[in-house]
């Protein structure tokens, strides 16, 4: 089976490199069937060529990558769309793409031979969402994000991190700003899309679930 790819990227040289290199490094298993630098043409190419995967540059000119992603989703809601970024430090575009329905994130700086396994996996329904695809947060911020996504309360997080609840609120507010999330619920949704809820992203320590207080047994009534 040949994995058919549509590349929506503003750089002709990058598109040409993928067209020439992907078949070579996969023994013909991955092939670029169409490419464009116009966001407005993305859905048209998907409808025309019926690809297995779409590679989408997040730096497309107006109407932009998010508009292209939305249009592609209307044509094929389940089609894997992998966002292309130059750096994981590009926080806001990355998070917005994941929130809009991107299946995963890939670095454009990776060689075609390194991109190919992700394309093959995405076509099989396993979109790349490793921890490295999350915004470039510190380990402490990643830990806090995972705790929030797991539904931990402020007091539980404070106990887990050995800090005050006031500090947790301050750190949470800063994390939400970094993610571009309006609240904890939105941050949790973004965490799911970014792969923060897989085993590798969960905190090592678990938060104890409060147990109900023991209820003393009552004496049995006389028979």
Q: What is the mean pLDDT of residues 153-172?
A: 92
Q: Is it the case that residue 107 has pLDDT exceeding 60?
A: yes
Q: What is the mean pLDDT of residues 101-127?
A: 85
**Structural domain spans, the chain:** 3-128, 139-201
Q: Would you put residue 165 in left (φ > 0), alpha (ψ -120 to 50) or beta?
A: alpha
Q: At 22, is the pLDDT very low, low, confident or very high (cuts 50, 70, 90)?
A: very high
Q: Is it the case that residue 88 has pLDDT exceeding 70?
A: no
Q: At 177, is the pLDDT very low, low, confident or very high (cuts 50, 70, 90)?
A: confident
Query: Coil, helix or strand for 45?
Result: helix
Q: Cis (ω within 30 of 0) for the bond into 44?
A: no
The string of DSSP codes covering 149-208 is HTT--HHHHHHHHTS-HHHHHHHHHHHHHHHT-SSHHHHHHHHHHTTTTSGGGS-SSPPP
| 56-65, 113-122, 173-182, range with the lowest pLDDT | 173-182
The answer to whether 85 and 107 have CB atoms below 8 angstroms apart is yes
pLDDT of residue 109: 87
What distances in angstroms separate CA 143 from CA 59, 156, 173, 205, one per listed residue?
29, 13, 15, 10
Q: At 112, is the pLDDT very low, low, confident or very high (cuts 50, 70, 90)?
A: very high
Q: Give pLDDT tens digits for 179-211.
A: 777 788 777 767 766 655 544 343 333 333 333
Q: Is 72 exposed, middle or buried (0-12, 13-18, 19+ CB in 10 A)?
A: buried
Q: Would you put residue 216 in left (φ > 0), alpha (ψ -120 to 50) or beta?
A: beta
DSSP state of 211: P
> What's the CATH architecture for 139-201?
Orthogonal Bundle (1.10)
Q: Is it the case that residue 164 has pLDDT exceeding 50?
A: yes
This prediction has a pTM of 0.63
Q: At 29, is the pLDDT very low, low, confident or very high (cuts 50, 70, 90)?
A: very high
Q: Is 3-128 a domain of CATH 3.40.50.10710?
A: no
Query: Coil, helix or strand for 137?
Result: coil
User: Token pair for residue 169?
Assistant: 């609120």
CA-closest candidate to residue 30, choices 133, 108, 121: 121
Q: What is the mean pLDDT of residues 120-143?
A: 69
pLDDT of residue 211: 36
Q: Is it the case that residue 49 has pLDDT exceeding 90?
A: yes
Q: Is it the case that residue 24 has pLDDT exceeding 70?
A: yes
User: Token pair for residue 216?
Assistant: 């003393």
Does residue 69 or residue 179 have the better pLDDT? 69
The answer to whether 96 and 66 have CB atoms below 8 angstroms apart is yes
pLDDT of residue 192: 65
């Amino acid at each position: 089976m040949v994995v058919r790819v549509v590349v929506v990227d503003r750089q002709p040289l990058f598109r040409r490199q993928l067209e020439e290199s992907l078949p070579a490094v996969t023994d013909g298993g991955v092939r670029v069937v169409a490419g464009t630098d116009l966001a407005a043409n993305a859905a048209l190419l998907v409808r025309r060529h019926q690809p297995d995967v779409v590679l989408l540059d997040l730096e497309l000119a107006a109407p932009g990558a998010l508009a292209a992603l939305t249009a592609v989703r209307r044509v094929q809601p389940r089609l894997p769309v992998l966002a292309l970024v130059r750096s994981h430090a590009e926080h806001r575009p990355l998070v917005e793409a994941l929130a809009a329905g991107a299946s995963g994130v890939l670095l454009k700086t990776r060689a075609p031979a390194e991109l190919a396994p992700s394309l093959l996996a995405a076509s099989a329904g396993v979109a790349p969402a490793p921890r490295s695809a999350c915004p470039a947060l510190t380990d402490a911020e990643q830990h806090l994000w995972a705790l929030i996504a797991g539904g931990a309360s402020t007091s539980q997080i404070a106990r887990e991190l050995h800090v005050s609840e006031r500090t947790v609120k301050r750190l949470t507010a800063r994390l939400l700003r970094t993610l571009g999330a309006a609240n904890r619920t939105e941050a949790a949704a973004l965490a799911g899309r970014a792969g923060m809820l897989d085993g590798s992203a969960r905190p090592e320590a678990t938060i104890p679930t409060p147990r109900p207080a023991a209820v003393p047994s009552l004496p049995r009534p006389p028979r």
